[in-house]
Amino acid sequence: MPIAILPDVDEQRCIGCALCVEICTALGPDVLRVKPVEGWKRGKAFVFYPERCISDGACLGVCPTHAIFWMRPLEYTAGQPVPLHKNGVFDKGWEEG
Ligand code: SF4
């Protein structure tokens, strides 16, 4: 199973602007997507293709609400959601700077 340092998105902070998706797609890796969330018309960003991430931090740099965190090196399975929350609490990340 591959191991990587990956970004993740704090849904409480994400406003669904998709700037992270746009920069990541424009630079090539194309890791992020915005998913619909009930009660939130713009959706929320999430890591959709963890195996494509090159850990360049571009998404962290563009997020206006500092919703994106680096995650400690972790195992992931391509095509599967990355389990970053425990009991509904975001507990494995740290903020840039
Ligand atoms: S840039 Fe930040 S606020 Fe905008 S969609 Fe991405 S995570 Fe959400």
Could you report the per-residue pLDDT of 23-78, keeping only the tens digit for each? 999 999 999 999 998 888 899 999 888 888 888 999 999 999 999 988 766 666 77
pLDDT classification of 2: cutoffs 50, 70, 90: low
| Residue with CA at minimum distance from ligand 1 atom 6 | 20
| Residue with CA at minimum distance from ligand 1 atom 8 | 14
Q: Are residues 53 and 4 in contact, defined by beta-carbon separation less than 8 angstroms?
A: yes
Nearest-atom number in ligand 1 for the CA of 62 is 1
Query: What single-letter DSSP state applies at residue 80?
Result: S
State whether the beta carbon of 66 lies less than 6 angstroms from ligand 1. no
CATH C-level class of 3-94: alpha beta
Domain residue extents for the chain: 3-94
Nearest-atom number in ligand 1 for the CA of 34 is 5
What is the rounded distance in angstroms from the CA atom of residue 61 to the CA atom of residue 70? 12
